[in-house]
Chain A
Amino acid sequence: MSRPIDPLLDPRRNPRTPSGSARPAARHSGQGRALPPPLPPSGATARPTGAAGASPRVPQRPAGKRKGPARGSKIASLAVSISTTLGLAALFAQQDTTSAAATDPLLDTTATGVTPTSAAVTAGTTSPATVVTLDPASTGSTVAPTPTTAAASGGIVDGTYLGTPSTNKWGTVQVQAVYSGGSLVDVQILSYPDRDRKSVAINQRSLPSMINDAISIQSSDVAHISGATYTWKSYKVSLQSAIDAARSASGLA
């Protein structure tokens, strides 16, 4: 304790470095173009009093800014980016859920005023109005078909519902569910195809997965391609435009 403090280590020497580090420049590396670090005092100018230890040309800066330029803006932009990402995702989720719970405006006369002629036909008829295929694996909160009453809450409308046929070791079975008063009251197992569904012969063939093995447009000389609807933006890069262009170029108006 009685030993003299090495002048270089004297904390009073550099008033802008409260931690007493003799190399404050180390904290600025990698932050882009920061201010030049204060010059460490050379041995010749060292003074035990430690007054104005660094070059007087470098202006004083408050301790907060020391952490790097634009730190506040960086944090703000990161916060905005993350919250926008989550917010937009939540918005998209909400759009999808509202569409699934929509009621039928043709039957909702207060909303649109369109003459509900078809509703007049089905209203009042008791179940089963129509038979609907449901996936038996679904959790049951599905929208009912041609509602006999406007299913505003999305609950299951009274009626008899058939599940899709599923095959197991006893053959192919279908489940029939009966709803009344909004809840399931009866479940029956039916065998398929006794429920008036045609058995259909299905032919199966494998398509080549490599483009070189698939049928090429050029060799097949097709006039049109039937595919999932392209928007006018993807039309330009689609094959149909190439065909149309070829047909235009080869002499048609």
Chain B
Amino acid sequence: MNSWWWYLTRSTGIVAALLSVAALMWGFYFSSRNMGQRLKANWWLALHNWLGGSALVFTALHMLVSFLDSETGLRLVDLVWPNDVAGWEIGWGVIAFWLFCLVVLPSVARIRRRLPRSLWHAVHLLAIPAVVLMAVHSLQAGYDADARAFTRVFALVVGLGMYPLSVRVLSVLHRRRTAAT
């Protein structure tokens, strides 16, 4: 059973990473309003919300399972606060988790409605550093990060992600240009 905690730690981490990247891509695509007629805006948004929530859930699962695995030597405090004993390989992941919480929790409809939109949006953009820190954590602490399959999937995801990112950036630039005229 001990080994299964270890396998699940790795697999939940991988799935949480993929979900968070997908949520980010969906978010970029949705916010650029450039998604064509076939899939409606509410489909993108609903799925973006769902993916973001799933990513947070799987991240929490990943942290829980890694804690339950007696061989990782992680203590409860290591999951909550970056520290020297666990090292920065874990610490970046912990910070990424807190950033994800800041991104997801205020976006729950009840809370979001009470926040001024610009504040909510500024906090929501923390998703970007969150995903970057998560990638750093996966490369530094990830047991599977050495595997060739991992580096190939990583490269593929980064490559695929360039499209929604550029769509978003271009739409922002376009809006600024039209607003300036």
Contact = CB atoms under 8 A, between A and B. Distances in A.
Direct contact of A and B (CB under 8 A): yes
B114 to A, nearest CB: 15
Nearest to B87: A237
Contacts, number: 87
Interface class of chain A by DSSP? helix
A96 B143 CA distance: 13
Contacts of B139: 233
B46 A88 contact: no
A68 interface: yes
- Kindly list the 9 A-B residue pairs having the minimum CB-CB distance in the complex, ordered from nearest: A88-B11, A89-B7, A70-B46, A92-B7, A69-B42, A89-B11, A69-B46, A70-B47, A74-B50
A240 to B, nearest CB: 14
Contacts of A120: none
Interface of A: 29-35, 68-70, 73-74, 77-78, 81, 84-90, 92-93, 96, 211, 231, 233-234, 237
Interface in B12-68: 12, 14-15, 18-19, 22, 40-47, 49-51, 54, 58
A77 B54 contact: yes
B109 interface: yes
A130 to B, nearest CB: 29
Contact of B15 (A30, A88, A90): A88
A211 B140 CA distance: 23
Given A86-B11, A88-B11, A32 B45 contact: yes
B7 A78 contact: no
